[in-house]
Structure 1
Amino acid sequence: MDALRLANTGLAVDIFKKLCENKKTDNLVFSPLCISSTLALIHKGSKGNTASELEKVLHFEKVKDRDFGFQTLSLDISKISSIYSLKLIKRLYVDKSIDCTKDFINSSTKPYPSELETIEIKSRAEEARIQINTSVKELTDGNIEKVLNEGLCDEHTKMIMLGAAYFKGSWLYKFNESETKEFRINKTEKKPVQMMNCEVRLSIGYINELKTVILEIPFTMKHLSLLIFLPKDIEDESTGLEKLIQDMTYEKYVHWTNPSMMANSKVKLSLPKFKLESTFDFMDILKSLGINDAFSDEAADFSGMTESKGISVTHAIQKACIQVDEDGTEVADVTKERLLMHKEEVNVDHPFIFILRHNKTRTIIMYGKYCSP
């Protein structure tokens, strides 16, 4: 599991950095787990150079039993999904004209139970698009609508890699009612934002060379946490995050968030209340990372999946949404703490990175940045 966690973290950081290149000052959120899981299924059906490219980008070189790893991960996360409003949809929609082999279907059922879906796209493209959107809306309890835009599907569409992720959690500790404060977008610009406050014991860490604080805020039952990466202050004319994003590698992320690098401390915390939604077509990003053959009819080798020729992935679309508010299950009892105890003040009133993490496997479920209300 550890090798798979590191591989999934590697892909998550790679994609996040690529997204930030084009969207330096934008808010964004995506689910790396939805991407790695569906790409793992695609990798399973690929051979030759197509498989080699996928393996490299997925950081799979040292991952032995990938199928079992994803099966365990899916099971672990689905067990806790009902405790939170957590919906993860990972699909590879394959046109009915492509005959997937029985071997491929049978060997994919356990590790990727809902990922593979056959649908008639070519002959009824618009109906297929509506059907997919309706399915996503139902599976996310109406929280995510219209993942595929009009005209996206046509007679040339063969395979669609689709992801949808929604999360709204209840904190372990309630925040106080939010009040309007100023959020500093950069050195010169400010905007009003609803800020939530609480005083509680939290796990806190520091990246001294980047003047960045890391905070772990647990959700109810502690199965999930929100990690906040906050540079101490804005140091340039944009968001203040550039240095942190540029320096971040998956090895550094693993080191920075290692429990041995974090300490329990009493924290006076102010955090914006926010709801973010992003839609991405990941094809160009995945190509820039090194997956090219899988998206080319001429080059793709999916002979591990089908005997049909000239098959490739036509689209790689994802929509993600995260909602953060005051909701919590317990009131923090800080009266027991000694009055002399040192108290950290963390005021998240300028751009930050956030990560929704599954604590048992330390897997990144959602990843994003908040730059402006």
Structure 2
Amino acid sequence: MRWEKSRRQHGPGSRIRRRILPEEKVDEERRRGAIEVGELDKDEERRDTHLYVEKLRCTTATNNNKQLECLGLTTLALRLLNELAERSASSNLVFSPLSIYSALALTAAGARGATLQELLVVLGARSRDELAEIVLRFAKQILADRSPTGGPHVLFACGVWHDETRKLNLAFRDAAAQSYKAETRAVDFRKEPGEAVKLINAWAASATNNLIEKILDGPVPNKTDIIVANAIYFKGMWDVPFRKECTEDDKFHRLDGSTFDVPFMRSGAKQYIACHQGFKVLKLRYKKGSGRYSSWSSFSMCVFLPDARDGLTGLISMMASSSADFLREHLPASLVSVRKFKLPRFKLSFSGDDMPPVLRRLGLQAAFDEKNSDLRDMVEEDGTGRPLALGKIIHKAVIEVNEEGTEAAAVTACMKVMRSAPKLPVDFVADHPFVFFVIHEKSGAIVFAGTVLEPTPSMPGKKILHGGRVQGDENANRSLMSSLRHYLGSLFG
């Protein structure tokens, strides 16, 4: 048994040692490309997923707190998934629970009374201060950009725009700047709404690396007082990329039973897969950054695939009705051999300004009621007695998954059981609708979520064959060569 010394977190004098696991060895082999497509590893050695640490000081309480603070986010994510999937029953869905959570939390910083209490219940927090601490930790730890050290490229931004006639409350402005790292700016919604829209859209484009070019499609109502927004951008490369030459077209089955051709990424390498009653879970890790805080750059995409081709609705309902620990308890913990492995490439987008009805069903009532809404802590009293209430909540999200990794962005604006590790090789063939999550592994925070009902189809007139060859290109080349031979024959005939 091999051991290594670790002094990173315990000082140069520490003698802490941990066992080098077989799983880590397999990961290294996969990175070197030692396991080719279609090759099955026959080694049946049990994969131990626990780290054996000597003289380790207990940090369980701290880690548990970090998990617990994401339970509110997880609960909101699963409830939103259930509601939005029901409204998008025939189309793909992608959204950022973390973006929506952050925008609502920033709104709560200016709320009082029943409005504040409803926001706290929906977000799973006990106070405004606790919400601020949670989002600040999201921004500083979970969503810190790790791309300089080789990790995911992550951008996180909040913004508050208020009409010149409604000055921000000093305490709210300070909370927005210090706890939410939000920029605040006065604009003229009354006389120059077009300029205000350009300013906000430019902010959204910058915050999402131009993946979302605008969040407001038209002029805002001239009675708008405040717009609160949050934006998240994520780009991660797979820890073990898929080989493009192994991508091959095959049939994807829609919920109505019809099929169409889509490019499927294939692999014969070991994967993190867990098998449960009625569904399987795949975990694809993104490349982490290096250095002292590398563990905080650990993200993964988790695909929940129902066994039945029409089982998506039932799976989502089960998730929404379960505890917030459902995801964590069902994620795979060890690598397993695979027989057939197919995952479609997909690029999804979502644009919705009908979020208020969804949030009302989750319990936010007072915030959208002009008579009962209490957001007085956002702005200074102007003597008019004019109430402040949430109007539109706009959410836009984009995600692209391919052989190299994932690129995703989202903007939200408020106007106002046991794990199962199979011993035998398993199949994971995602040729029918499934659910996906982009998760921060250390905290459990859900950054993006959605459903894939129709992946990106194959190119019209072209079909990707085994080895990455494109059938349409071959036909075109044959036609070109035939024409060339005919032309040369006419010259030298």
Q: Given the two structures, how large is their TM-score scaled by the length of structure 1?
A: 0.87
Matched pairs, number = 354
* Counterpart position of 1:336: none
After the TM superposition, which of the residue ranges 255-264 and 171-180 deviates more from structure 2?
255-264
**Could you say what the CA RMSD is over the residues aligned between the two structures, in angstroms?**
2.4
Work out the CA distance in 2 between the residues paired with 1:274 and 1:364: 19
Match of 1:190 among 259, 267, 281: 259
* Counterpart position of 1:338: none
* Counterpart position of 1:232: 307
List per-residue Cα deviations over 1:192-237 (Å, max 9, x = no partner): 11111123333222331xx100111101116110000000121xxx
Match of 1:246 among 317, 320, 323: 317
Q: CA deviation at 1:73?
A: 1.4
Q: CA deviation at 1:253?
A: 5.3
Q: In the alignment, is the contact (CA less than 8 A) between 1:168 and 1:324 conserved in 2?
A: no
Match of 1:20 among 82, 85, 90: 85
Q: CA deviation at 1:85?
A: 4.2
Q: In the alignment, is the contact (CA less than 8 A) between 2:303 and 2:434 conserved in 1?
A: yes
Work out the CA distance in 2 between the residues paired with 1:81 and 1:88: 12
Q: Superposed, which structure 2 residues align to 1:259-278 within 5 Å?
A: 262-267=333-338, 268-278=340-350
Work out the CA distance in 2 between the residues paired with 1:364 and 1:260: 13
Q: Superposed, which structure 2 residues align to 1:219-368 within 5 Å?
A: 219-221=286-288, 223-234=298-309, 239-249=310-320, 251-252=322-323, 254-258=325-329, 262-267=333-338, 268-281=340-353, 282-308=355-381, 309-327=386-404, 342-368=424-450
Match of 1:162 among 220, 226, 229: 229
Q: In the alignment, is the contact (CA less than 8 A) between 2:241 and 2:404 conserved in 1?
A: yes
Work out the CA distance in 2 between the residues paired with 1:297 and 1:187: 42
* Counterpart position of 1:141: 209
* Contiguous gaps of at least 5 residues in structure 2: 1-65, 289-296, 406-422, 456-493
Q: Superposed, which structure 2 residues align to 1:10-49 within 5 Å?
A: 10-49=75-114
Q: In the alignment, is the contact (CA less than 8 A) between 1:269 and 1:346 conserved in 2?
A: yes
Q: CA deviation at 1:242?
A: 0.9
Distance of aligned partners of 1:297 and 1:117 in 2 relative to their CA distance in 1, 3 Å threshold: farther
Q: Secondary structure at the match of 1:38?
A: helix
Distance of aligned partners of 1:187 and 1:139 in 2 relative to their CA distance in 1, 3 Å threshold: closer
Q: CA deviation at 1:250?
A: 7.0
List per-residue Cα deviations over 1:289-308 (Å, max 9, x = no partner): 22122223322212222233
Q: Superposed, which structure 2 residues align to 1:83-122 within 5 Å?
A: 83-114=151-182, 116-122=184-190
Work out the CA distance in 2 between the residues paired with 1:109 and 1:48: 23
Distance of aligned partners of 1:118 and 1:218 in 2 relative to their CA distance in 1, 3 Å threshold: farther
Distance of aligned partners of 1:355 and 1:256 in 2 relative to their CA distance in 1, 3 Å threshold: closer
Work out the CA distance in 1 between the residues paired with 2:167 and 2:128: 29
Q: Share of identical aligned residues, percent?
A: 27
* Counterpart position of 1:172: 239
Work out the CA distance in 1 between the residues paired with 2:183 and 2:269: 40
Work out the CA distance in 2 between the residues paired with 1:63 and 1:344: 47
Higher strand fraction: Structure 1 or Structure 2? 1
Distance of aligned partners of 1:85 and 1:276 in 2 relative to their CA distance in 1, 3 Å threshold: farther
Q: In the alignment, is the contact (CA less than 8 A) between 2:251 and 2:431 conserved in 1?
A: yes
Work out the CA distance in 1 between the residues paired with 2:176 and 2:100: 16
Distance of aligned partners of 1:118 and 1:361 in 2 relative to their CA distance in 1, 3 Å threshold: farther
Q: Secondary structure at the match of 1:271?
A: strand
Give the partner amino acid of 1:321: V
Distance of aligned partners of 1:261 and 1:142 in 2 relative to their CA distance in 1, 3 Å threshold: closer
Work out the CA distance in 2 between the residues paired with 1:154 and 1:216: 44
Give the partner amino acid of 1:160: I
Distance of aligned partners of 1:312 and 1:96 in 2 relative to their CA distance in 1, 3 Å threshold: farther
Match of 1:127 among 182, 195, 211: 195
Q: CA deviation at 1:115?
A: 6.0
Q: CA deviation at 1:41?
A: 1.4
Q: CA deviation at 1:108?
A: 3.1
Distance of aligned partners of 1:244 and 1:64 in 2 relative to their CA distance in 1, 3 Å threshold: farther
* Counterpart position of 1:206: 275
Distance of aligned partners of 1:344 and 1:246 in 2 relative to their CA distance in 1, 3 Å threshold: same
Q: In the alignment, is the contact (CA less than 8 A) between 2:95 and 2:350 conserved in 1?
A: yes
List per-residue Cα deviations over 1:278-325 (Å, max 9, x = no partner): 112222211222212222332221222223341122221111111111
Q: In the alignment, is the contact (CA less than 8 A) between 2:281 and 2:332 conserved in 1?
A: no
Q: In the alignment, is the contact (CA less than 8 A) between 1:167 and 1:323 conserved in 2?
A: no
Greater RCO between the two (CA within 8 Å, min separation 6)? Answer: 1
Q: In the alignment, is the contact (CA less than 8 A) between 2:207 and 2:232 conserved in 1?
A: no
Q: In the alignment, is the contact (CA less than 8 A) between 2:73 and 2:445 conserved in 1?
A: yes
Work out the CA distance in 1 between the residues paired with 2:165 and 2:390: 14
Give the partner amino acid of 2:109: K
Q: In the alignment, is the contact (CA less than 8 A) between 2:109 and 2:175 conserved in 1?
A: no
* Contiguous gaps of at least 5 residues in structure 1: 329-340
Give the partner amino acid of 2:300: S
Distance of aligned partners of 1:62 and 1:44 in 2 relative to their CA distance in 1, 3 Å threshold: closer
After the TM superposition, which of the residue ranges 309-318 and 50-59 deviates more from structure 2?
309-318
Distance of aligned partners of 1:252 and 1:347 in 2 relative to their CA distance in 1, 3 Å threshold: farther
Q: CA deviation at 1:359?
A: 1.3
List per-residue Cα deviations over 1:229-269 (Å, max 9, x = no partner): 000121xxxx4301111111374452343378644322352
Give the partner amino acid of 1:45: G
